[in-house]
A and B are shown apart, each in its own frame.
Chain A
């Protein structure tokens, strides 16, 4: 395996541990080393990667799903569509002859179209969000999944964004927090998962849950500890006990916090970090070969 064509997800159970910080800096270093690289911002509820890289928007499209429209004149109020709908998105009162689509609850599964025997249901496109691709330089691409505010699940937008990745690129995926559906959809396609945590009891509790999930999925993974120096020894003891690779340790440092808070990249502002992020990639690659 060479340095192209595989997928690395950067994830964390707990929010705000530094996923975006790690993703953007790793991307920045690979970009400067002229490796073909794509960064996909899969945190569709709150995408932020884009703010760190000026670039030209080269492609953008809406992600939609089909929601039903019920034609009251053709509807016989049989209720079969409501019975087929597993998401309670069709509100139906037989006696009152009342039927209504609750678009917010619809998952776009299409069951109601199959259910209706009277041709009373037609489809309408509803926008869930967009996928925006930016060319950052010749070899570096940034693709952003952006869910529309008010939409309930980011999963369809995330899936559509991941499909955009060039198979020959080294792909970095900035994953959404947690271990539920959006996280699973992202790491499912990863060859390696970098878990970013902080050395606190909250960080440890969430890290354990992420590790258990990745074990079940059969993924290889390693850990980055961010804000080292705050908190306690719990995470370190856990990594040792579980024999989990510590890929990198980033100290809590007001200087680093200040660089990030201004929307700047540590690997540009403090060049000694460039070498550390290169080393991070070598460590990941070594683990992949193992």
Chain B
């Protein structure tokens, strides 16, 4: 069974919940799919047995010695990545989308593509099973594809080690890497917080999961920081027919646990936070 933990809004406690899910009892495969800011390795210090290069894309590079400054490439580029400054044609690496059209239209073959190969996939053992995570190099694209690669690896590890449960820690937002993180999973857990922004982002996130018809449940983190907003969230979920399977109280020990490289379940198993998360997990 694959369970994805996502949040829409960042910083709602998604990774803390994933870490708790991963340490409840049975052995799991933990896939950190927040490839833009993978953090769970900080808690679990996995023993990495495999490191793989991920080619995230390509960028156009101009050879100025060959370029005749005709500007044809500039006319074709739809990403505003090619500009003319003082009669000289320049490619802005930041804006280049890697489509390669400029290479194809250049009459003098002055442009080549170079591969972006700084992103990585890591896999290994952690104290409660197997762990895999991706690291997208800053500024690189295709985070969705890296998520696919991480999930593929997670599936292989689950099969090879005969582990039933895979926990996917997803990225924030609702874009490509989130869609890749939830596509085809058995269950999505959305972690939200009782703020106006949290509610607003929850709505957009639930739109995504309902588009994909995935069984979804909601956890409200730090619910006691604003009980009225928590009521609003519960009412909204009720309307949509989505179960709120836990209300987690604010507890500074959640951060303390992280500082001590532990999940809240390991650090304070008797705390209400650990109890609520554990109950929500059983409901899955």
Contact = CB atoms under 8 A, between A and B. Distances in A.
A21 to B, nearest CB: 9
A113 to B, nearest CB: 9
Contacts of B78: 65-66, 108-110
A213 B138 CA distance: 6
A260 B225 CA distance: 10
A111 interface: yes
Nearest to B43: A201
B175 A151 contact: yes
A209 B37 contact: yes
Given A177-B10, A261-B229, A153 B201 contact: no
B243 interface: no
B139 A15 contact: no
A200 B141 contact: no
A94 interface: no
Interface string B73-85: 0001011100000
Interface in A182-211: 182, 184-185, 188, 198, 200-202, 205-206, 209
A154 to B, nearest CB: 6
A200 B11 contact: no
A20 B200 CA distance: 13
Contacts of B15: 202
Interface in A36-69: 45-46, 48, 51, 65-66
B141 A180 contact: yes
Interface in B223-248: 225-226, 228-229
Given A86-B100, A111-B100, A111-B104, A48 B201 contact: yes
A151 B174 CA distance: 9
A181 interface: yes
A157 B208 CA distance: 18
Nearest to B40: A202
Main secondary structure of the interface of A (DSSP, over half): loop
Interface string A147-171: 1011111100001000000000000
Contacts of B36: 13, 177-180
A3 to B, nearest CB: 27
A257 B225 contact: yes
B182 to A, nearest CB: 12
B37 A206 contact: yes
Contacts of B94: 184-185, 188
Contacts of A209: 37, 138
A25 B193 CA distance: 20
Contact of A109 (B10, B79, B200): B79
Interface residues of A, number: 59
A278 B8 CA distance: 31
Contacts of A273: none
Contacts of A153: 175-176
A254 interface: yes
A107 interface: yes
A232 B261 CA distance: 12
Contact of A46 (B105, B179, B200): B200
Nearest to B10: A15
Contacts of B173: 15, 45-46, 154, 176-177
Nearest to B99: A109
A91 B222 CA distance: 46
A143 interface: no
B129 interface: no
Contacts of A201: 39, 42, 258-259, 261
A87 B204 CA distance: 26
A237 interface: no
Contacts of A230: 252, 255
A290 to B, nearest CB: 25
Contacts of B8: 46
A202 B175 contact: no
A262 B226 contact: yes
A150 B138 contact: no
A184 B57 CA distance: 16
* Most chain A CB inside 10 Å of its own CB: which residue of B7, B99, B179: B99
Contacts of B208: 149-150
B101 A150 contact: no
Nearest to A16: B11
Given A111-B100, A177-B173, A206 B139 contact: no
A213 B136 CA distance: 12
Given A178-B36, A200-B255, A212 B138 contact: yes
B259 A181 contact: no
B65 to A, nearest CB: 26
A258 B78 CA distance: 45
A180 B258 contact: no
The 5 closest A-B pairs by CB, nearest first: A15-B10, A16-B11, A109-B99, A263-B196, A178-B36
Interface of A: 13-17, 20, 45-46, 48, 51, 65-66, 84, 86-87, 107-111, 114, 147, 149-154, 159, 176-182, 184-185, 188, 198, 200-202, 205-206, 209, 212-213, 216, 230-232, 254, 257-258, 260-263
21 contacts: A13-B36, A14-B11, A14-B39, A15-B11, A45-B175, A48-B196, A51-B197, A51-B200, A84-B100, A87-B99, A111-B99, A111-B101, A177-B37, A178-B37, A185-B94, A185-B95, A200-B255, A201-B42, A231-B255, A257-B222, A258-B225
